[in-house]
Amino acid sequence: MTTPIAIIGTGLAGLSAAHALLDAGQEIRLFDKSRGSGGRMASKRSEAGALDMGAQYFTARDRRFAEVVQQWLQRGWVAEWSPSLYQFQNGQLSASPDEQVRFVGTPRMSSITRALLSALPVEFNCRIVDVFRGEENWTLQDTEGRSHGPFSSVIIATPAPQATALLAAAPKLAGAAATVAMEPTWAVALAFATPLETGLEGCFVQDGPLDWLARNRSKPGRDNQPDTWVLHATSAWTRQHLDMPREQVIEHLHGAFAEMIGCAVPAPTFTLAHRWLYAKPSLAHQWGTLADVDLGLYACGDWCLSGRVEGAWLSGQEAARKLLEHRR
């Protein structure tokens, strides 16, 4: 029997690495602190339907990622989303169409990671706090004091600040991860009983507290929802209001939305706020993955590349590639 490989994190990076290793005949075990998979691509189930509170859509610029997205399209996990796009700049709202192809998970963003997770061996509600190496193998320890192992290698697929602590056995890697600052994002969802009288479905915002807004039900597979909107605050506004009570965040962002959207905005029938502490790296990197192949310790995630869905998938592939290369 071979000793399995541990993967900490069931976001896209962890699942990308998992599949590359499974395809090469390796045995893996996944761990996640949350109740489900998806990380920042998770969707929140609510009385207003499933809401994409994190990643809104993704683009595929890298050839390898574009190929895998074609497979996801054929399997019905994703669809193209061609929203009626606007931008808000200098107090002006204007249509801003473009030719960019954008994808979303169907019927919710989390469908992609749910499908990738499928029946893989995973332990949820399991926050790993220590990763340590014995003479030959690795052991993980969780917040409940439980030990998991032995593992031949460990792939840490969490945001950089969470990876830093878990990389203590490889100080060089921990040092590199520690240099990555990740910016927070407040996300708010609003649902309206009567659809807002606007043709706008997505908007890049350049003024004020908002950065982006989207009509959630304009995405494929979500048309049975009430008129739901997801608003993202800028990193700067979020940093300044990190500890603001949720109700006040909703009030502020709802106010900013109502001022810019150019149509009457009634009181929402449903609201939700979510704070992403580690939403995006403040700078892109070209690392691919961080690896100590002799130790068998790896870190991957969007922060090793572009800070986007595509970067997360590519980074997971890169961690698996390095690990497999070392085993040959």
CB atoms within 10 A of CB 69: 23
Q: Is the distance from CB of 56 to CB of 212 less than 8 angstroms?
A: yes
The correct pick among 59, 82, 141, 198 for binding ligand NAI (CB under 6 A) is: 59
Q: Which of ligand NAI, ligand FAD, none interacts with 204 (beta carbon under 5 to 8 A by kind)?
A: ligand NAI
Q: Does 105 bind ligand FAD (CB under 6 A)?
A: no
| Nearest-angstrom CA–CA distance, 304 and 249 | 31
Q: Which of ligand NAI, ligand FAD, none interacts with 116 (beta carbon under 5 to 8 A by kind)?
A: none
Q: Does 14 bind ligand FAD (CB under 6 A)?
A: yes
Contacts of 176 (CB under 8 A, 6+ apart): 287, 290
| Nearest-angstrom CA–CA distance, 314 and 306 | 9
In whole angstroms, the minimum distance from the beta carbon of 14 to ligand NAI comes to 17
| Nearest-angstrom CA–CA distance, 288 and 314 | 7
Q: Does 17 bind ligand FAD (CB under 6 A)?
A: no
In whole angstroms, the minimum distance from the beta carbon of 95 to ligand NAI comes to 9
Could you tell me the two tokens for 295?
A: 């130790």
SS3 297: strand
Could you tell me the two tokens for 310?
A: 């595509």
* CA angle (291 as vertex; 290, 293 as ends), nearest 5: 175
Closer residue to ligand NAI in complex, CB, 222/280: 280
The correct pick among 128, 250, 272, 299 for binding ligand FAD (CB under 6 A) is: 128
> Is 60 assigned a ligand-binding role in the annotation?
yes
Helix axes 63-74, 309-327, angle to 10 degrees: 110
The region of 25-33, 79-87, 171-179, 192-200 touching ligand FAD under the rule CB under 6 A is 25-33
> Is 119 assigned a ligand-binding role in the annotation?
no
Mark residues 49-68: x for contact with ligand FAD by CB under 6 A, - for none: -----xxxxx----------
Read out DSSP for 66-117?
A: HHHHHHHHHTTSEEE----EEEEETTEEEE-------EEESSSTTHHHHHHH
| Nearest-angstrom CA–CA distance, 39 and 12 | 8
SS3 16: helix
Q: Does 149 bind ligand FAD (CB under 6 A)?
A: no
Q: Is the distance from CB of 319 to CB of 157 less than 8 angstroms?
A: yes
In whole angstroms, the minimum distance from the beta carbon of 180 to ligand FAD comes to 12
> Is 250 assigned a ligand-binding role in the annotation?
no
The region of 11-19, 65-73, 91-99, 238-246 touching ligand FAD under the rule CB under 6 A is 11-19
DSSP label at 218?
A: G
Which residues are at the interface with ligand FAD (CB under 6 A)? Answer: 8-14, 31-34, 39-41, 54-58, 127-128, 157-159, 162, 185, 187, 232, 276, 279-280, 301-302, 307-309, 311-312
Which residues line the annotated binding site? 13, 32-33, 40, 56-61, 96-98, 128, 185, 302, 308-309
Which residues are at the interface with ligand NAI (CB under 6 A)? Answer: 58-59, 85, 87, 96, 98, 100, 185, 204, 211, 232, 279-280, 307-308
Which residues line the annotated binding site for FAD? 13, 32-33, 40, 56-57, 128, 302, 309
